[in-house]
């Protein structure tokens, strides 16, 4: 028997601290609340406002010791799957650079096995936030975008073959970079206008690598070609706007920006997911799909509620509440029982997520 059982629970009997057992879906099939979310008073109020009578709640089906052991085993397995995926991806990128040909069948297999499992792993968002990136940026980034595009796809109600294609498109979105001059790709200084033009050609190079492969759906190719297009037409390479952009590319664009910002923070110091969310919310207004972005931020903030963070003064604090509009900086409760509204105390930074 598994470590958890799910039981239907009347919404009137739901209390903060309970865990959602099965995803709660809206009328359009979008995920309103993911499995594994720890319910806060605010989320319970939301559920009541949605008019739901009953939701599935998760209960631990074993002793605490067994439960902790299984969580540790799950964390070990996640790390192993991630590192195996990274090793394989490294070989595929090197092959692409050497032979100017993409190992499509191998990438397809990777997307459908190890990465598919990672998108279904409990705590995958915290895992990626806490991850130390040891390898090449493009490798980590491609893998993370693939995983998180799958996660956001599921939150948006994408299923079956479409979801598998989305994960593969995310994995291959930057493969065109394998054909870009390595000196430009790894240049630490600011790129010249000419070099920037070369870099901005990578979506077309990626599309061309896939063009002759008839087994892949056009959606996969369009996710690769259009992931730098922006809703207001300010993107590249074709300056498409709004409805001209395929929804795979809209999903990958959001995840691409989110992962680039979280990794930026890794180089500077530790990751504060809330400042990333805040930036995504404000700076990208009008540029990324607003509805998709709202679903992403809603689910990420629900996911982070109940998690423990370390403040820059060293104190540990639990996230207890999110503003439903900004989804950015939460109210936290510190270990010495002080409630702090981080929206009103912008000088207090969160240094890291310390809880999976
Ligand atoms: Fe890219």
For residues 214-224, average pLDDT: 94
What distance in angstroms lies between residue 184's CA and the mean position of ligand 1's atoms?
Answer: 14
pLDDT of residue 266: 46
What distance in angstroms lies between residue 81's CA and the mean position of ligand 1's atoms?
Answer: 24
Confidence band, pLDDT 50/70/90 cuts, at residue 264: low
What distance in angstroms lies between residue 189's CA and the mean position of ligand 1's atoms?
Answer: 18
> Does residue 260 surpass a pLDDT of 80?
yes
Q: Which domains does the chain have, with CATH numbers?
A: 1-62 (3.90.105.10), 64-271 (1.10.3210.10)
What distance in angstroms lies between residue 176's CA and the mean position of ligand 1's atoms?
Answer: 8
What distance in angstroms lies between residue 87's CA and the mean position of ligand 1's atoms?
Answer: 21
170 is written with which tokens?
């995310």
- Report which of residues 136 and 238 the model is more confident about: 238
How far, in Å, CA of 253 to CA of 259, rounded? Answer: 10
pLDDT of residue 356: 42
What distance in angstroms lies between residue 63's CA and the mean position of ligand 1's atoms?
Answer: 46
What distance in angstroms lies between residue 298's CA and the mean position of ligand 1's atoms?
Answer: 25
DSSP tally for the chain: helices H, then strands E: 14, 10
Tell me how far apart the 2 most distant CA atoms of the chain are, in Å.
63
What distance in angstroms lies between residue 129's CA and the mean position of ligand 1's atoms?
Answer: 20
pLDDT of residue 327: 62
What distance in angstroms lies between residue 308's CA and the mean position of ligand 1's atoms?
Answer: 32
What distance in angstroms lies between residue 95's CA and the mean position of ligand 1's atoms?
Answer: 19
Nearest to 248 by CA among 127, 191, 167, 138: 167
> Does residue 140 surpass a pLDDT of 80?
yes
Span 1-25, pLDDT tens digits: 455 678 888 988 888 888 888 888 8
How far, in Å, CA of 78 to CA of 72, rounded? Answer: 10
Q: Provide, rounded to the nearest whole percent, the portion of the chain with pLDDT above 90.
A: 42
Confidence band, pLDDT 50/70/90 cuts, at residue 165: very high
pLDDT of residue 219: 97
Q: Provide, rounded to the nearest whole percent, the portion of the chain with pLDDT above 70.
A: 92
How far, in Å, CA of 193 to CA of 143, rounded? Answer: 29
Span 107-135, pLDDT tens digits: 999 999 999 999 998 788 888 887 877 76
Span 148-158, pLDDT tens digits: 999 999 999 99
pLDDT of residue 34: 83
pLDDT of residue 271: 63
What distance in angstroms lies between residue 203's CA and the mean position of ligand 1's atoms?
Answer: 6
What distance in angstroms lies between residue 228's CA and the mean position of ligand 1's atoms?
Answer: 6
What distance in angstroms lies between residue 220's CA and the mean position of ligand 1's atoms?
Answer: 14
Whole-number mean pLDDT of the chain?
86
Span 30-68, pLDDT tens digits: 788 888 888 888 788 888 888 888 899 987 666 666 767
Burial class (CB in 10 A: 0-12, 13-18, 19+), 343: middle
For residues 248-267, average pLDDT: 84
Span 179-196, pLDDT tens digits: 999 889 888 888 999 999
What distance in angstroms lies between residue 175's CA and the mean position of ligand 1's atoms?
Answer: 8
What distance in angstroms lies between residue 201's CA and the mean position of ligand 1's atoms?
Answer: 9
What distance in angstroms lies between residue 227's CA and the mean position of ligand 1's atoms?
Answer: 7
């Amino acid at each position: 028997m598994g470590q958890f059982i799910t039981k239907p629970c009347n919404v009137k009997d739901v209390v903060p601290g309970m865990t959602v057992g099965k995803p709660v879906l809206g009328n359009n099939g979008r995920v309103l609340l993911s499995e594994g979310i720890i319910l806060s008073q605010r989320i319970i109020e939301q559920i009541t406002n949605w008019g739901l009578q009953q939701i599935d709640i998760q209960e631990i089906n074993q002793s605490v010791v067994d439960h902790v052991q299984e969580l540790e085993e799950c964390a070990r397995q996640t790390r192993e799957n991630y590192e195996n995926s990274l090793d394989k991806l490294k070989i595929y990128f090197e092959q692409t650079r050497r032979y100017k040909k993409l190992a499509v069948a191998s990438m397809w297999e990777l997307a459908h096995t190890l990465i598919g499992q990672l998108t279904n792993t409990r705590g995958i968002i915290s895992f990626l936030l806490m991850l130390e990136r040891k390898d090449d940026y493009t490798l980590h980034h491609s893998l993370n975008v693939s995983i998180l595009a799958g996660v956001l796809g599921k939150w948006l109600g994408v299923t079956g073959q479409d979801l598998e294609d989305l994960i593969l498109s995310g994995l291959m979105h930057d493969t065109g970079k394998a054909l870009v001059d390595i000196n430009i790709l790894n240049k630490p200084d600011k790129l010249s206008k000419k070099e920037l033009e070369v870099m901005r050609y990578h979506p077309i190079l990626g599309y061309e690598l896939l063009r002759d492969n008839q087994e892949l759906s056009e959606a996969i190719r369009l996710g690769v070609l259009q992931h730098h297009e922006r809703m207001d037409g300010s993107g590249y390479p074709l300056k498409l706007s709004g409805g001209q952009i395929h929804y795979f590319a809209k999903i990958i664009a959001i995840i691409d920006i989110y992962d680039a910002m979280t990794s930026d923070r890794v180089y500077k110091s530790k990751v504060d997911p809330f400042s990333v969310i805040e930036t995504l919310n404000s700076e990208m207004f009008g540029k990324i799909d607003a509805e998709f972005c709202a679903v992403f931020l809603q689910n990420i903030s629900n996911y982070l509620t109940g998690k423990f963070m370390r403040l820059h003064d060293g104190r540990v604090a639990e996230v207890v509440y999110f503003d439903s509009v900004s989804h950015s900086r939460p109210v936290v409760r510190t270990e010495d029982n002080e409630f702090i509204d981080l929206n009103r105390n912008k000088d207090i930074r969160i240094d890291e997520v310390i809880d999976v």
